[in-house]
Amino acid sequence: MGKIAFVYPGQGAQYPGMGLNLNERDLFARFTFNQMDQVRPGTSDQCFYGDMETLTQTVNTQPCIFAVELSGTNALLSRGIVPDMVAGFSLGEVAALTVSGAVDVPTGLSMVTERAKLMQAASEQVDSAMIAVMKLDAAKVAELCTAHPETYPVNYNCPGQTVVAGKKDQLGALKADIKSAGGRVMPLRVSGGFHSPFMTEAAEQFGTYLQGVNFGDFKMPLYSNYTAQPYDGDVRNLLQQQICNPIQWQTLGENMIAAGTTTFIEVGPGNVLSGLIRRIDKSVHTYHVEDWESLDQTVNEVTAHV
């Protein structure tokens, strides 16, 4: 029998009304949203009623997505669906860290809130953005970036998809080169050039903040964006380095599959990670949980499959 992994999306997955349906219909989700509001008042209202402009501000995006991720997780756990391993994309890694048992929910939200504040401040210091590049391999994208100062491949998502962070005044020319090379470009709904050298100061400040956080034992393997391997050694360093270094999502997914995962459940808004995982390996099963309907469907199908 294969293993189950829970995976958690990052910024760009947000949308107005996320989590409202779960909050209305699931007791465990509602309890979790209440927990979030005790740590960061107004979080649930931003999820349920905030507009897209509000939700795309990093200081709001990260805690709001985290709230939806943990609420969906607790709804799943209450129905007997338990992961064998976890991972998260960018801020989703803090959700995965929390689910792994290394920190409790209030601590996880406090970490995300601090992380968001520091990354927002760093993004305001440079006019940067992120674009997803499709139809080109990662090596070609890296080659094209070398001709444009301060553009960096930062998310190695899956075969044929790499995300680039860069200064906006450089990205225009890079987009033209990408199209000339046969690639396609899609802008991302984020407020800065994350996982790049633009975030070095934020990463250092987050590392200082983490010195005051106590981490417990992991109840299951948690895969790192930075190394693509299960967490081992200095937890604080892995969380710090993740902010200013590329995300190795394709390799991470391949490693989780090699470790026996045959079922991935994406928990949180949207289903972007599910699509990436299917492009990494078509043989695995993917599900997602973001509202009552997808929760019910996932529980029924995973229970029948497993």
Query: Which residues are known catalytic residues?
Result: 90, 195
Per-residue H/E/C for the chain: CCEEEEEECCCCCCCCCCCHHHHHHCHHHHHHHHHHHHHCCCHHHHHHHCCHHHHCCHHHHHHHHHHHHHHHHHHHHHCCCCCCEEEECCCHHHHHHHHCCCCCHHHHHHHHHHHHHHHHHHHCCCCEEEEEEECCCHHHHHHHHCCCCCEEEEEEEECCEEEEEEEHHHHHHHHHHHHHCCCEEEECCCCCCCCCHHHHHHHHHHHHHHCCCCCCCCCCCEECCCCCCECCCCHHHHHHHHHHCCECHHHHHHHHHHCCEEEEEEECCCCHHHHHHHHHCCCCEEEEECCHHHHHHHHHHHHHHC
| N-terminal to C-terminal alpha carbon distance within the chain | 7
- CB burial of residue 80 (10 Å; 0-12, 13-18, 19+): exposed
